[in-house]
Amino acid sequence: MVLSTNLDHIATADELTKTINENENVMVCCGRMGPMCIPVYGVMEELRSEYKNVAFRDMAFDSPEAGIIRNLPEASNFMGLPFTIYYKNGKVVEATSSIQSRDQITAILDEHFSS
């Protein structure tokens, strides 16, 4: 189960683990093809060329495999799609719930992933 975006998708929990182990900086947007999620995928698509040191991925929220994100302690109070998780060296450094603007996303990327 994957989303119909132009991003690289993560389909399984194992794939996510592999991705965060193999890449220093990872941003994963876990959502549906809805109005709060699509703008975030769009911003991620555009930021790919600007932040080459970050692996941008999406994951389908309704896939049972997405439990790896849904059940994160950092997402325990989240009640809005998408759940967007930022990993550095395999660890969660930031997590947001609901739609975020390009400025909000780049502020997080600059804070945690600037080289």
Partner 1 sequence: MKPNHYNTIIIGAGPAGLTAGIYLSRAKMKTLILDSGIAGGQLILTHEIANYPGIEKISGYELSNTMRKQALAFGCEIQSGISIKDINFEAVEKSVQLSNGKQFTADTIILATGGRSRTLGISGEDKFKGRGISYCATCDGDFFQDKEIAVVGGGNTALEEAVSLTKYASKVTLIHMLDHFQAFAHAIDEAKSNPKIEIKMQSRITAFNGEQKLESVNVENLLTHELSELKLDGVFVFIGYEANTDFVQGRCIELNERNEIVTDDQLQTNVPGVFAAGDALAKRFRQITTAVSDGTIAALNAMEFIRQASAIKVA
Instruction: Tell whether residue 35 is a contact of partner 1 (CB under 8 A).
Output: yes
Q: Which residue has the tokens 């900086």?
A: 25
Q: Per CB under 8 A, which region of 7-15, 16-24, 51-59, 93-101 contacts partner 1?
A: 93-101
Instruction: Tell whether residue 80 is a contact of partner 1 (CB under 8 A).
Output: yes
Instruction: Tell whether residue 78 is a contact of partner 1 (CB under 8 A).
Output: yes
Nearer to partner 1, 56 or 78 (CB): 78
CB 15 within 8 A of CB 43: no
Residue closest to 21 by CA, chosen among 5, 30, 10: 10
Distances (CA, A) of 106 to 22, 34, 45: 22, 22, 13
Q: List the one residue from 34, 64, 67, 90 that touches partner 1 (CB under 8 A).
A: 34
Min dist. Cβ of residue 1 to partner 1 (A): 17
Q: Please tell me what DSSP assigns to residue 68.
A: H
CA 59 to chain centre: 8
Q: Which residues bind partner 1 (CB under 8 A)?
A: 4-5, 32-39, 42-43, 46, 77-81, 96-99, 101-102
